[in-house]
Amino acid sequence: MIGLVSYLVFFLILSLIFGIAVLGLNLQWGFTGLFNAGVAGFIGIGAYTMAILTGPSRDAVFGGFELPFVIGLIGAMVVSGIAALAVGIVTHKLKHEYLAVATFGIAVTIQLVCLNWEYLTGGTLGLIGIPNPTKDLAEGPLAQNALFLCIVISLGLITFIAIENIVKSPWGRMLKAIREDEIASSSLGKDPARIRLEAFVLGCMAMGLSGALYVSFIGYVSPWDFLPILTFQIWTMLIVGGSANNRGALLGALIVWGVWTMSGYVISNVVPSEIQAQGGAMQAILIGLILVVMLLLRPRGLIGEELQVSRHARSLND
Amino acid sequence: MSAAPLLSIQGVTKRFGQFTAVDRMSFDLNSGVIAGLIGPNGAGKTTLFDTLAGLLRPDEGSVHLDGHPIHGLVPHKVCASGLSRTFQIPRPFPEMSVLENVMMVPLGQIGEKFWNNWFRPGKVAQEERQAKEQAEDIIEFCGLTRVKGDQAGSLSGGQLKLLELARVLMADPKIILLDEPAAGVNPSLMVTLVEKIQELNARGHTFLVIEHNMELVMSICEPIMVMAQGKLLYSGTASGARKDPKVLDAYLGDLP
């Protein structure tokens, strides 16, 4: 029983951490139509920033500032935001698949930098011993994880409310207008470049927060955590849950992470040991399959987009 | 007494490669008119609109609105300077309600800065209430009240024309450019549309209208500009246009 509870806590922590990144992607893709195929890169930037700011000092590697957890979170969001600002300015004329190709390339570059810039990132070995803030506050792994879950729920809720607030507003209405018809919205006086950049930066900051939480929970960061498969997982979570709906984004994170972990369990217990080594590939195929089936059968996701944008435009047919 | 023109177009030229779509167009419009821009298909009327509205950059020439240069500005800046346009083929935000299609328009809303939605929610809500009231008034004026809660994508062609009009009215511009407002609109709705344009004009709105419906043009537009092959062929009164041999030859033919 305890085993199941602690597994459930562990599962919820990870799915909510991913959920925060999905909320960020939803702001970019769901509400604004920005095809960010470099999600893993921005999660990675947040994770490494957290590791550098809060981790212990070590020889021949930058960082180890041992700063408090909260400073790490803020720092991760700020650095991801700055990186997104730089990427956003460079790619501000790119749309649709062109932006996807550019961001995908940037994420791969970020991963390769993490892999090779040993002084900053510890190279292939990554950075270890990142403190988990619950270690000093609770006794035993279950209590610590339960406390960490509380932290993740609180931060997830804050992210959810913060994003809900700005998308159900005149700002959110501009995002949607630009997504639907950029020429019409610019002819009506809205500046698409500025608004797209804002949505891109804010979304990447949520991804940075997600990466920071991930690394302080796992206690370890390595370049292998931010391969393109992570981007596709986050995308699948959004498509399954429902683009342009924040509740859908969180639901998608729970479902897809659930399928992912269960499939891992099934593969390790059912699949013959000779082909166990291909387990990861099987999981990747499964994610791709879910994505395709969902797009064919229910392209708007489990919870689709609402018609009304601004919460102030309520009582439509009064 | 001759006031300075509201819109002054001087030598505007737009080329696409070797092809000159708009060729040294020049005319002035005074405040308070309903000006008509007519001409055969391919004459360059919509290209001129696109150039005035900032969608295209003119290769030569200047455009002044109320004395301020607007040529070469990007569309959202042109709109902010007081020139709004509708599109020949309506461009609604199809997945938004009619109400929010109109509510999105006012410039410089406090809630358009995302942080104000966190830190000044009361102010945003207040402004949204005003925007909603104003949008509802305009929607009623345009006869769309019955469908204000519907997705804009579900409207008929004629209703979309009215929605385009509602959106530009919400921007409260100095001059409104209408690109074929009557195209695809049924006869009874067209009467409504003409009445609306006249009513708005009486309230002080200035219009520049591209239209192929000669009945509409001849009845409400003054002055009339005729374009053919990118050039201005005629500029003057409606009755003068009917008698001008070049206009008859290029466009009107044997109009009754």
Give the integer Cα–Cα distance in Å for A223 and B40. Answer: 63
Q: Is residue B2 part of a domain?
A: no
* Record: contact B93-A187, CB cut-off 8 A: no
Q: Is residue B163 part of a domain?
A: no
Same domain membership, residue B101 and residue B88: no
Same domain membership, residue B147 and residue B29: no
Any CB–CB contact under 8 A between B133 and chain A?
A: no
DSSP state of B112: G
Using CB atoms, pick whichever of A181, A187, A191 lies closest to residue B93: A181
How buried is B236 (Cβ within 10 angstroms: 0-12 exposed, 13-18 middle, 19+ buried)? middle
The token duo for B34 is 């309903």
Q: How many CB pairs under 8 A join A and B?
A: 122
Mean pLDDT, rounded, for A37-47: 96
Check residues A64 and B92 and name the one with the higher pLDDT.
B92
* Record: contact A187-B107, CB cut-off 8 A: no
pLDDT at B189: 82
| Domain range for B132 | 94-154
* Record: contact B103-A165, CB cut-off 8 A: no
Q: Is residue B82 part of a domain?
A: yes
B91: closest CA of chain A, how far (Å): 6
Same domain membership, residue B178 and residue B83: yes
ipTM of the complex: 0.90
Query: Tokens 């020949």 correspond to what residue?
Result: B88
pLDDT per position as a tens digit, A17-33: 999 999 999 999 999 99
Q: Which of A161, A164, A169 to mutate to test the interface with B (most CBs of B within 10 A)?
A: A169
CB B181 within 8 A of CB B161: yes
In chain B, the number of structural domains is: 2
**Kind of pairing, strands B68-69 and B83-85?**
unpaired
Give the integer Cα–Cα distance in Å for A222 and A216. Answer: 13
* Number of neighbouring beta carbons within 10 Å of residue A145: 22
Residues of chain B below pLDDT 50: 1, 256
Same domain membership, residue B73 and residue B40: yes
pLDDT above 60: residue A187: yes
Same domain membership, residue B62 and residue B120: no
pLDDT at B1: 44
CATH number at B76 reads 3.40.50.300
How buried is B1 (Cβ within 10 angstroms: 0-12 exposed, 13-18 middle, 19+ buried)? exposed
Q: Which of B86, B100, B148 to mutate to test the interface with A (most CBs of A within 10 A)?
A: B100
Check residues B111 and A124 and name the one with the higher pLDDT.
B111
CB B220 within 8 A of CB B198: yes
> What residues in B contact A196, CB-CB < 8 Å?
none
Q: Is residue B159 part of a domain?
A: no
Same domain membership, residue B100 and residue B82: no
Same domain membership, residue B238 and residue B176: yes
The token duo for B222 is 């003054």
Give the integer Cα–Cα distance in Å for B80 and B73. Answer: 10
> What residues in A contact B53, CB-CB < 8 Å?
187
Check residues A59 and B39 and name the one with the higher pLDDT.
B39
Alpha-carbon distances, residue B160 vs A133, B14, B98, B154, B163 (angstroms): 57, 29, 9, 9, 5
Same domain membership, residue B62 and residue B111: no
Same domain membership, residue B98 and residue B44: no
Same domain membership, residue B177 and residue B118: no
Q: What angle do CA B161, B164, B165 make, to 5 degrees?
A: 90
Same domain membership, residue B248 and residue B129: no
A205: closest CA of chain B, how far (Å): 15
Out of B154, B188, B203, a domain closes at: B154
pLDDT at B2: 54
* Record: contact B85-A202, CB cut-off 8 A: no
Same domain membership, residue B46 and residue B76: yes
User: If contacts are CB pairs under 8 Å, which of residues 146-185 in chain B contact chain A?
Assistant: 148-149, 151, 167-168, 171
Q: Is residue B112 part of a domain?
A: yes
Question: Where in B132-172 does DSSP place strands (E)?
Answer: none
Q: Is residue B166 part of a domain?
A: no
pLDDT per position as a tens digit, B74-110: 999 999 999 999 999 999 999 999 999 999 999 999 9
pLDDT per position as a tens digit, A138-158: 888 899 999 999 999 999 999
CB B23 within 8 A of CB B231: yes
The token duo for A70 is 């909260």
- pTM reported for the whole predicted model: 0.92
The token duo for A67 is 């700063």
Q: Which of A166, A310, A311, A315 to mutate to test the interface with B (most CBs of B within 10 A)?
A: A310
Q: Is residue B162 part of a domain?
A: no
